[in-house]
């Protein structure tokens, strides 16, 4: 029986890398970020509702959502974040459910890649939760480098989510990503081996 696994983490924890590695192992990934973009794509009802709620500035010169503007508004005004969520979340849910059902019918194990899984209390919608774990200090360092943020800006984004250590206690399984990408790959494969998703393979180089 195929399983539905919720994959989550904290911002800059390395979840996207884990999704790519899981795809290589035959899992089908349903990505909440991709669904969110589809929900407000150019010409959609979702984008029209965002424009009505956030004004003309919410649409860029190409007729697409001005993510920088909307992001700044919701980051500084919690009530506008709630309003955006009320528009986008139901559409995202429908898109993700349709993809998930299609993959399950085809017999695949499905990864539901959801950054804010715990924040949105979606853990009961999946069979189990896998968390990509790193330390808060590494999250902050990666964010500063990746997004060219100051330490204060990076901390604000990290602290806007449930702490990674609390998520670690809530998850069913943890994938450690505090070291290199090679270590991450090995940690993930150890978990897949432990849970029976892959079989132990003898390294040809050792023969």
Q: Which residues are annotated as a binding site?
A: 12-17
| Cα–Cα distance measured from residue 174 to residue 9, given in angstroms and rounded to the nearest whole number | 9
Q: Which of 11, 69, 13 lies closest to 40, judged by CA?
A: 69
Instruction: Calculate the dihedral angle through the C-alpha atoms of 95, 8, 169, 5, rounding to the nearest 10 degrees.
Output: 60
For residue 1, what are the contacts with CB-CB under 8 A and spacing of at least 6?
none
For residue 33, what are the contacts with CB-CB under 8 A and spacing of at least 6?
113, 115
Contact, 116 vs 105, CB < 8 A?
no
Q: Which residues are annotated as a binding site for ATP?
A: 12-17
């Amino acid at each position: 029986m195929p399983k539905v696994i919720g994959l989550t983490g904290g911002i800059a924890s390395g979840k996207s890398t884990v999704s790519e590695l899981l795809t290589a192992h035959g899992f089908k990934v349903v990505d909440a970020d991709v669904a969110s973009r589809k929900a407000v794509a150019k010409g959609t009802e979702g984008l029209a509702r965002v424009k009505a709620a956030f004004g003309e500035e919410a649409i860029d010169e190409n007729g697409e959502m001005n993510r920088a503007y909307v992001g700044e508004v919701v980051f500084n005004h919690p009530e506008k974040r709630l309003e955006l969520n009320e528009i986008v979340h139901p559409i995202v849910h429908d898109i993700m459910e349709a993809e998930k059902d299609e993959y399950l019918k085809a017999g695949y194990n499905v990864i539901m890649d959801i950054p804010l899984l715990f924040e949105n209390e979606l853990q009961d919608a999946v069979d189990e939760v896998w968390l990509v774990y790193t330390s808060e200090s590494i999250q902050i360092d990666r964010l500063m480098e990746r997004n060219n943020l100051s330490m204060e800006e990076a901390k604000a984004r990290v602290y806007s989510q449930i702490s990674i250590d609390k998520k670690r206690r809530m998850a069913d399984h943890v994938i450690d990503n505090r070291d290199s990408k090679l270590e991450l790959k090995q940690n993930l494969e150890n978990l897949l081996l432990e849970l029976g998703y892959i079989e132990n393979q003898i390294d040809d180089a050792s023969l």
